[in-house]
Amino acid sequence: MTGLARQAADDLRAQGFKITATSTSKTFAESVTVGYSSPYPQVARTVSAAFPGAILVKDDSAGKVIQVTLGSGSPYVIAVPNRIGSSPLPEHTATVASAPSPSVTIRARTADNNICVR
């Protein structure tokens, strides 16, 4: 998801948000979550406005950082009202996976077969 994280970070940066880091997780969520600590619910709401349907998650270990986690079905970043940046957001298109190979890639075995023998 590195590409999605980088793309979202660039889109947020274009709107005036300060991005400190991006990373890729080994686990994948289904939606967008915006994590925040107790003193920053308003900031979290502002960030979440850029992601339609984002879920706010209170996490006091977040400190001063607002953490956005993008899931596999995450929407593209949208323009936030009253944003600082004036650059237009880029148009994004979904990438289509390549067609599957016509050759067999999985060899099936019946339950009667010995799994230790090829």
The domain spans of the chain are 2-69
Residue 47, C-beta contacts closer than 8 angstroms, at least 6 positions apart:
12, 17, 34, 54, 66, 68
- Residue 114: per-residue pLDDT: 55
- List the one residue out of 59, 1, 52, 55 whose CA is nearest residue 28: 1
pLDDT at residue 56 tops 80: yes
Mean pLDDT taken over the chain: 77
This prediction's pTM: 0.68
**pLDDT above 90 coverage of the chain, percent:** 31
Tens of pLDDT, residues 61-86: 999 999 999 887 788 888 887 666 66
- Residue 39: per-residue pLDDT: 94
**pLDDT above 70 coverage of the chain, percent:** 65
